[in-house]
């Protein structure tokens, strides 16, 4: 069920074991222009988040072999604009699972469809515009002083976080946690390299940055004039 969508964005990412009763819905949605990707395990789902950039993530906790709370917390960090829909049965505790919507079995296919469309409508737009920068998080394209530039998934995620918090210093620890899902600061050369690559794509003169600034000993800030 579903297609191999590992190389392009999707509107919906489904993590867990799909319910056979909903198979016709998942087959119908692509015909309506809504692309869907599937990952049966937590690891596979998280591996796909960067490249697929979904607007809605469905997490099926029925017979799941993973922690719904931990997974949804990670999704919230990696995909801050995405909506999370948790599916559970009456015996599954979901009170501490962070999400925007819950469905408890049994429910109708119509209910699932209506919920998905509601979440898609609520999802943040793909375009983020701050100052002289415009970022298309689906196409992973940024437009700025150097024109249109293509970003890698990690570069796009990093710039998304910075653009969502303009003129705010974000600590290195927070960036490592959000983008690389680790708080380890023993080696932050990866972060430094990605910052340098971003500057090459958005700064008029990367050696003398005016947008993406370093706060020594703290972190980075996207400096946007009012």
Question: Please, are residues 224 and 166 in contact by the beta-carbon 8 Å criterion?
Answer: yes
pLDDT in tens, 114-156: 999 999 988 766 788 889 999 988 788 999 999 999 999 899 9
pLDDT in tens, 58-107: 999 998 888 899 999 999 888 877 899 999 998 888 888 999 999 999 99
Pairing between strand 12-15 and 56-60? parallel
Q: What is the mean pLDDT of residues 208-218?
A: 94
- Looking at the DSSP bridge assignments, the partners of residue 212 are 222
Domains, the chain, ordered by start: 12-122 (3.40.50.2300), 127-222 (1.10.10.10)
Q: What is the mean pLDDT of residues 160-165?
A: 90
> What is the token pair recorded at 159?
């710039």
Question: Please, are residues 212 and 202 in contact by the beta-carbon 8 Å criterion?
Answer: yes
Give the per-residue pLDDT at 77: 82
pLDDT above 70 covers what percent of the chain? Answer: 92
């Amino acid at each position: 069920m579903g297609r191999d969508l590992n190389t392009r964005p999707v509107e919906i990412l489904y993590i867990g074991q799909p319910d056979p009763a909903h198979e016709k819905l998942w087959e119908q949605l692509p015909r309506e222009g809504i692309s869907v990707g599937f990952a049966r395990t937590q690891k596979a789902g998280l591996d796909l988040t960067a490249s697929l950039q979904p607007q809605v993530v469905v997490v099926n906790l029925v017979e799941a072999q993973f922690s719904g709370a931990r997974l949804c917390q990670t999704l919230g960090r990696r995909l801050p604009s995405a909506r999370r829909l948790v599916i559970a049965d009456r015996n599954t505790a979901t009170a501490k699972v962070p999400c925007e919507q819950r469905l408890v079995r049994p429910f109708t296919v119509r209910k699932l469809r209506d919920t998905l469309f509601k979440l898609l409508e609520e999802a943040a737009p793909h375009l983020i515009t701050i100052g002289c920068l415009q970022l298309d998080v689906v196409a992973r394209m940024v437009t700025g002083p150097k024109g249109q530039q293509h970003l890698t998934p990690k570069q796009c995620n990093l710039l998304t976080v910075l653009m969502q918090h303009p003129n705010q210093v974000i600590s290195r620890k927070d960036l490592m946690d959000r983008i690389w899902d680790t708080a380890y600061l023993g080696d932050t050369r990866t972060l430094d390299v990605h910052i340098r690559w971003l500057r090459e794509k958005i700064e008029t003169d990367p050696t003398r940055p005016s947008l993406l600034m370093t706060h020594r000993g703290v972190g980075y800030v996207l400096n946007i004039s009012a």
